[in-house]
Amino acid sequence: MQFFIRFVALLLNDVTYLLDESLSKLADIHRLQHELENTEVSNKAELEKQLASAEGQAQSYMGLGNETVYMVRLFTAAIPDAFVTGEIVNRLAGMLDYNLDAITGPKCSNLKVKDPQKYHFDVKKLLSEITAIYLNLGTRPDFVRAIARDGRSYKPATFEKAQSLLTKYVLKSNEELAQWSQLSKAIKEAKIMEEEDDEDLGEIPDEFMGMFTIDYYTFDGRESVD
């Protein structure tokens, strides 16, 4: 199992990198295509060169990214325990939330490009794959809590938007749509509990602040203070 967990960590590194690069290149293509539509642009040759480079990179990254997301979906269905351990579950939650927001949130319009199939980009299929990973782990309390703790990308509104898109455009069964709704509710509740716990803890008393300073210097590689 430890070997497989190391494999999962590497797999998450790959999917995080590939999707980040893929969506970044698609945003570049969107921008360059828009700029080239301006017939008065003076540096057309340079923009076309940049576009060709971005297109080649997008094709490579997106093709590999699709395959890696597919692998994560298969593995989370077959061996879910490996994905809800230690740091793995937090990294997975962050990756999923970030990309779900990227393809459904306010900035998703930056991914609209001409002939997306040319770049192996099918946003409906990608949304279906990503949400399937959520559902594969949706009954695991550790996974639900990890999503709720993700202060960077988790937003209830993103899950609501995904629900709408899944209902309208993605071929999901009624059972899967119900599961997504239940998962969204469970994460919301976990988030509320997390915030209430933080409020109960309150601020750290001044007399304890020195202890954290000592730990900081110790872990920073400096000489600790006794």
Is 87 part of any domain? yes
In a domain, 88, yes or no: yes
Rounded to an integer, the average pLDDT of 124-130 is 96
Domain count for the chain: 1
Burial (CB count <10 Å: 0-12, 13-18, 19+), residue 143: buried
Does 161 map to a domain?
yes
> pLDDT tens across 94-103, in order?
999 999 999 9
Mean pLDDT of 109-114: 95
In whole angstroms, give the CA distance from residue 85 to residue 107.
31
> Distance between CA atoms of 153 and 107, rounded to whole angstroms?
13
Give residue-wise pLDDT tens across range 34-91: 999 987 878 889 999 999 999 999 999 999 999 999 999 999 999 999 999 888 999 9
Q: Which of 75, 110, 100, 95 is nearest to 17 (CA)?
A: 95
* pLDDT (0 to 100) of residue 206: 57
Is residue 226 domain-resident?
no
Residue type, 25: K
pLDDT surpassing 80 at residue 208: no
pLDDT of residue 214: 32
Percent of the chain with pLDDT over 90: 73
DSSP 221: T
Query: Residue 225 domain-assigned?
Result: no
**Dihedral, CA atoms, 60, 61, 64, 67, nearest 10 degrees?**
-130
224 lies in some domain: no
The average confidence (pLDDT) of the chain is 87
Angle between helices 174-201 and 123-137 (to 10 degrees): 60
pTM: 0.84
pLDDT at 41: 77
121 vs 198 pLDDT, higher one = 121
pLDDT at 38: 80
Q: Could you give the percent of the chain with pLDDT greater than 70?
A: 86
21 occurs within a structural domain: yes
* pLDDT tens-digit series, residues 144-165: 999 999 999 999 999 999 999 9
Domain of residue 164, residue span:
2-219
Q: Residue 216 above 50 pLDDT?
A: no
pLDDT at 213 over 60: no
Across the range 161-184, mean pLDDT stands at: 92
Q: Does a structural domain hold residue 38?
A: yes
pLDDT for res 87:
81
